[in-house]
Amino acid sequence: MHNSHGYNILTVGVGGTGVISATQILAWAALEDNYQVRTAETHGMAQRGGSVVGYLRFGSNVKGPLIYKADVILSFELSEILRYSEYINEKTSLFVSKDILIPPSVYTYNIPYPSQDVILNHLRKITHHVHLIDAGKMAKNAGNPKTSNVVLIGTIYGAGKLPIQESSLKNAIIKFVPDRAKKINEIAFQIGIQYGRKIKEGFYE
Amino acid sequence: MNKPDYAEDSPGKELILMGNEAIARGILEGGAIIAVGYPGTPSSEILATLATMQKFHSHLMLEWSINEKVAMEVAYGGALSNLRSVAVMKHVGLNVASDAFMTACYTGVRGGLVVISADDPNCYSSQNEQDNRYFGPHALIPVIEPSSPQEAKNMIKDAFTFSEKHKTIVLFRTTTRLNHGRANVILGDIQKTETKPDFDRNPSKYVCVPSNSRRMRKELLQRLEKISEESDSYPFTSLTLSEKRINGKKFGFISAGIPYAHLMDALEYFKIAENVSILKIGMIYPPPKKLIQKLLENCDEILIVEELEPVIENFVKQIAYDSKITTIIHGKDVFPIAGEFPVKLYLEKTAAFIGKEFATQELLESDIELPPRLPLLCPGCSHRSTYWALKQAEKKLKINAFKSGDIGCYTLGVYKPLESLNAQICMGSSIGVANALSKVQTDKEPVVAIIGDSTFFHSGVSGLINAVYNQNNFLVIILDNQSTSMTGMQPNPGTGVKITEESGTKVILRDLVKGCGIPEENIWIEDSNNIPKMVEKLEEALQAKGIRVFISRHVCSLLEIREWKEQKVVMPEVKVDPEKCIGCMTCIRKFGCPALVEIEYNGKKKSSIDPSICRRCQVCIDVCPYGAIYCEE
């Protein structure tokens, strides 16, 4: 099931949408499960509305922070995953948020934003494990659209694609959200898990 | 504020820390007192983390310096007074600091002095990709480099003792993936140094006049010789020899830093870590001569794995030549000099080196053209307003200014749609370069230097004095957003807030500029977001004679929304009236605020504002030529 040694998760999206905090939450959860953990993250200039990526590796013996092929990719934005297709192979599970953030270059460079079908068709040629998630809507249902990163973490756990204990994930989520947002994030996590379980059962694609 | 876990005095506790947090922890554990620097990606979080520790470890004396040279001098002054000190900067910062650095290496130190240089392979957030390991042989001081956050913490803690033992400055070099990567880190004990600060009045040791410097240079070389003898036994350097052969050959590897970590993963991937010899180098300079000789003697062929320049490779080849060893040495004939190495490259090159099959999967060709997602000026950014107003003023005057740019968020004005910069090399260069450009300018093509507040304090001010003195006449626009935003909104002399959030003395930009010799009538101060007024006053400034300074002032949008939130100010929503909007797209395609989007309205393309992105600065109201954007009162 694993791509090379260790478990490799790539989190991609747009600066300021929770990509880096998702990587951080997963790293702390992996620590609680006594794994060796490595991450590499986008900070600084590139973060200003740019494409952002968090590399996460954990296992019994991982040293470098970067990834060869990912076991799981979480894309917080529909088209962003296409920038990282070099990390996908036939074993990679993709969890792609339906949420769209139109980059201004669509107007300034006159390059249209690709359609959902075009994106999914391309991804399905590389791997069968492509899951489209309405993360924004689920986060809103949880009570705050900003919790979509926690929804996605719940989804991959529920789908059986995250070899970390539920309690460790929960503790890590609690650690990184402000007191007033703890309840909402716990709900978001549970909503994600329920959806992930449905994916696992083959109920959803 | 709660005590952060990395500030606790709890040795043995295991945490996940970012490289920069681990380095800050190592500085605390190593008993440093003075820690200073200038913000610069990827180094900025080191001092920021120390600032969060300072409340619980009040012996720490922290400062954001106005530039890296001053930071270097402050840290040196600390070390001179027998205090353990550290100066923190990004790689290009060491260029700024190098005047102080090169000669400080001559006198050596009393208290341990570590200089941190955070290099940036692939220029993720930098103007160049220089390899600061070269500063070791250049300045004749040791260069050390960690390969993981845990090692970074331990290594910098040890570096203060090492520095004091040899009376040498230590250069601690990292790269982006170390600074901005998280990993398990086990905390150590926090050392309290017992040394008392005092003055050592010994001019022959500390005054670098020629008669002293000639002697000091010899002493410096002697110190280096002693350090060189210890490089082989440096605790963060290790040699593993293997007698095993692969395809009949004994292979060896030399690596350091982040490349070492990825090399080890590649060797594990091919399950050959036990079958090859590996020299892991912690002290890059002076290199571990005996260990290199041992490795070379043990192997038929070796591969040196290092990003950027062939620094280790050149040492190894020199050692091989001097000791008449004929082992085949590979390095930059295999790995590229430019850029960061992806994991795929480690796998491919390692496999090819040992003669193993490794087929990387062909990537699926994609004919999807993806719109680029370049870093942008934020929604509501006041720099966009200034650039816009400048364009309008130029249009009115029918001129095309040559715009000499600088380092900061506003450098992003080079991209579409603003495309408002013609040149930029380094901190402060906008004004320095404009000194000569102004000799070439014409009425139709006047020169404008554009620089941020923090960058002006950093090194713009010297270029301005140069212009005043030499009567080089051009317009300087200081984009005063009262923050060092690109690196994380650090305060600066113009804000009068210190790194510890205590208040310092505010340096008044207007007074400073006046003090540089700019006459009162050639100084303008306007609110960047008041477009009509900005255009009018910029027209005036562009046409005026002499050296002129236009301070375009509006607080960084990220700080402004934070202030509004704290003060519970609710700004009215900004909207586009689709009936008035004629779909000219000026706001989207020429002004380019990310909150403005295209919509279909009655079958026609119109502008609209995404309320979730809009920061309600209201600037686009003045941008729309048809008065279609309004504020909901």
Do the Cβ atoms of A49 and B180 come within 8 Å? no
Give the tens place of pLDDT for each residue, B119-167: 999 999 999 999 999 999 999 999 999 999 999 999 999 999 999 999 9
**Shortest distance, CA A182 to any CA of chain B (angstroms):** 17
Whether the predicted pLDDT of A47 surpasses 70: no
Return the percentage of chain A with pLDDT > 90, whole number: 87
Which of B16, B258, B261 shows the shortest C-beta gap to A27?
Answer: B16
Dihedral sign of CA atoms B338, B342, B346, B352 in order: negative
Architecture (CATH level 2) of domain B570-631: 2-Layer Sandwich (3.30)
What's the CA gap between A128 and A135, in Å, rounded? 20
What's the CA gap between B274 and B267, in Å, rounded? 9
Dihedral sign of CA atoms B83, B84, B90, B91 in order: positive
> For B14-31, what is the mean pLDDT?
98
Could you tell me the pLDDT band of residue B607, with boundaries at 50, 70 and 90?
Answer: very high
Q: Which helix (H) or strand (E) holds B106?
A: helix B91-107
Whether the predicted pLDDT of B272 surpasses 80: yes
Whether the predicted pLDDT of B361 surpasses 90: no
- Lowest model confidence (mean pLDDT) among A44-58, A116-130, B60-74: A44-58
Which of A36, A48, A66 shows the shortest C-beta gap to B376?
Answer: A48
Chain centre to alpha carbon of residue B240: 35
Per-residue pLDDT, B391: 98
Whether the predicted pLDDT of A55 surpasses 90: yes
Those of residues 69-128 in B touching chain A at CB distance below 8 A are 124-125
Could you tell me the pLDDT band of residue A2, with boundaries at 50, 70 and 90?
Answer: very low
For chain B, give the number of residues.
633
Per-residue pLDDT, A4: 56
Interface test with A, best of B265, B360, B561, B612 (most A CBs within 10 A): B265
What's the CA gap between B332 and B348, in Å, rounded? 15
Could you tell me the pLDDT band of residue B415, with boundaries at 50, 70 and 90?
Answer: very high
Interface contact A109, partner B, CB < 8 A: yes
Interface test with B, best of A8, A28, A39, A171 (most B CBs within 10 A): A39
Whether the predicted pLDDT of A46 surpasses 70: no
**Shortest distance, CA B596 to any CA of chain A (angstroms):** 9
Domain boundaries, chain A: 7-200
Could you tell me the pLDDT band of residue B300, with boundaries at 50, 70 and 90?
Answer: very high
Give the tens place of pLDDT for each residue, A134-174: 999 999 999 999 999 999 999 999 999 999 999 999 999 99
Compute and round to an integer the Cα radius of gyration of chain A: 16
- The closest of B346, B154, B186 to B261, measured between CA atoms, is B346
- The closest of B490, B516, B524 to B431, measured between CA atoms, is B516
User: Helix B257-269 crosses helix B343-354 at what angle (to 10 degrees)?
Assistant: 60
Those of residues 30-49 in A touching chain B at CB distance below 8 A are 31, 36-49
Q: A-chain residues within 8 Å CB-CB of B16?
A: 24, 27-28, 31, 37
Residues forming CATH 3.40.50.970 domain(s) in chain B: 5-231, 382-555
A 10 A CB-CB count for B194 gives: 6
Nearest CA in chain A to B374: A50
- The closest of B57, B284, B16 to B150, measured between CA atoms, is B16
User: Which CATH superfamily includes the segment(s) A7-200?
Assistant: Pyruvate-ferredoxin oxidoreductase, PFOR, domain III (3.40.920.10)
What's the CA gap between B517 and B301, in Å, rounded? 65
What's the CA gap between B559 and B156, in Å, rounded? 34
User: Where are the alpha helices (H) located in A52-165, listed in sequence order?
Assistant: 105-108, 116-126, 135-142, 148-158
Which residues contact residue A42 at a Cβ distance below 8 angstroms, ignoring those fewer than 6 apart? A15, A19, A20, A50, A51, A52, A53, A54, B124, B180
The per-residue DSSP string of B440-469 comes to H--SSS-EEEEEEHHHIIIIIHHHHHHHHH
What's the CA gap between B13 and B512, in Å, rounded? 49
Place of tokens 């009425």: B443
Whether the predicted pLDDT of B362 surpasses 90: no
Whether the predicted pLDDT of A16 surpasses 90: no
What's the CA gap between B63 and B161, in Å, rounded? 23
Place of tokens 């002129």: B548
For B382-555, the fitting CATH number among 3.40.50.970, 3.30.460.80, 2.40.110.10, 3.40.109.10 is 3.40.50.970
Q: Which amino acid is at B225?
A: E
CATH for B238-354 is 3.40.50.920
Q: B-chain residues within 8 Å CB-CB of A15?
A: 375
> For B389-400, what is the mean pLDDT?
98
Instruction: Order across the sheet with B34-37: list the strands.
Output: B61-64, B34-37, B85-90, B113-119, B169-175, B143-144, B283-285
Return the percentage of chain B with pLDDT > 90, whole number: 96
Per-residue pLDDT, A45: 66
Do the Cβ atoms of A44 and B343 come within 8 Å? no
What's the CA gap between B112 and A65, in Å, rounded? 31
Do the Cβ atoms of B364 and A112 come within 8 Å? no
Nearest CA in chain B to A46: B375
What's the CA gap between B606 and A20, in Å, rounded? 35
User: Which CATH superfamily includes the segment(s) B5-231?
Assistant: Thiamin diphosphate (ThDP)-binding fold, Pyr/PP domains (3.40.50.970)
**Shortest distance, CA B1 to any CA of chain A (angstroms):** 13
β-strands A7-14, A51-59 pairing: antiparallel
> For B331-351, what is the mean pLDDT?
98
Q: Which helix (H) or strand (E) holds A198?
A: helix A182-200
Which residues contact residue B206 at a Cβ distance below 8 angstroms, ignoring those fewer than 6 apart? B80, B107, B200
pTM for the complete prediction?
A: 0.97
Tell me the three state secondary structure of residue B527: strand
Nearest CA in chain A to B39: A44
Give the tens place of pLDDT for each residue, B450-507: 999 999 999 999 999 999 999 999 999 999 999 999 999 999 999 999 999 999 999 9
| Mean of per-residue pLDDT scores for chain B | 97
CA distances from B465 to A138, B460, B462 (A): 58, 9, 5
Which residues contact residue B427 at a Cβ distance below 8 angstroms, ignoring those fewer than 6 apart? B67, B92, B96, B406, B407, B455, B458, B459
**Shortest distance, CA B194 to any CA of chain A (angstroms):** 36
Whether the predicted pLDDT of B287 surpasses 60: yes
Interface contact B412, partner A, CB < 8 A: yes
Interface contact B585, partner A, CB < 8 A: yes
Q: B-chain residues within 8 Å CB-CB of A42?
A: 124, 180
Could you tell me the pLDDT band of residue A3, with boundaries at 50, 70 and 90?
Answer: very low
DSSP single-letter state for residue B585: -
Interface contact A28, partner B, CB < 8 A: yes
Interface contact B359, partner A, CB < 8 A: no
Residues forming CATH 3.30.70.20 domain(s) in chain B: 570-631
Whether the predicted pLDDT of B220 surpasses 90: yes
DSSP single-letter state for residue B369: P
Interface contact A146, partner B, CB < 8 A: no
> For B34-38, what is the mean pLDDT?
98
> For B303-319, what is the mean pLDDT?
98
Per-residue pLDDT, A1: 37
Interface contact A202, partner B, CB < 8 A: no
Interface test with A, best of B15, B16, B269 (most A CBs within 10 A): B16
CA distances from A146 to A16, A135, A136, A137 (A): 10, 10, 8, 11
User: Where are the alpha helices (H) located in B108-192, listed in sequence order?
Assistant: 135-139, 149-166, 176-179
Those of residues 39-98 in A touching chain B at CB distance below 8 A are 39-51, 61-68, 79-80, 82-83, 85-86, 89
Whether the predicted pLDDT of B633 surpasses 80: no
- The closest of A67, A62, A16 to A42, measured between CA atoms, is A16
Could you tell me the pLDDT band of residue B4, with boundaries at 50, 70 and 90?
Answer: very high
Which of A37, A49, A63 shows the shortest C-beta gap to B264?
Answer: A63
Return the percentage of chain B with pLDDT > 70, whole number: 100
Could you tell me the pLDDT band of residue B118, with boundaries at 50, 70 and 90?
Answer: very high
**Shortest distance, CA B376 to any CA of chain A (angstroms):** 6
Prior bond of B286 cis (ω within 30°): yes
Whether the predicted pLDDT of B245 surpasses 60: yes
**Shortest distance, CA B341 to any CA of chain A (angstroms):** 10
ipTM over 0.90: yes
Are the CB atoms for B75 and B83 separated by under 8 Å?
no
What's the CA gap between B435 and B123, in Å, rounded? 28
Give the tens place of pLDDT for each residue, A166-186: 999 999 999 998 899 999 999
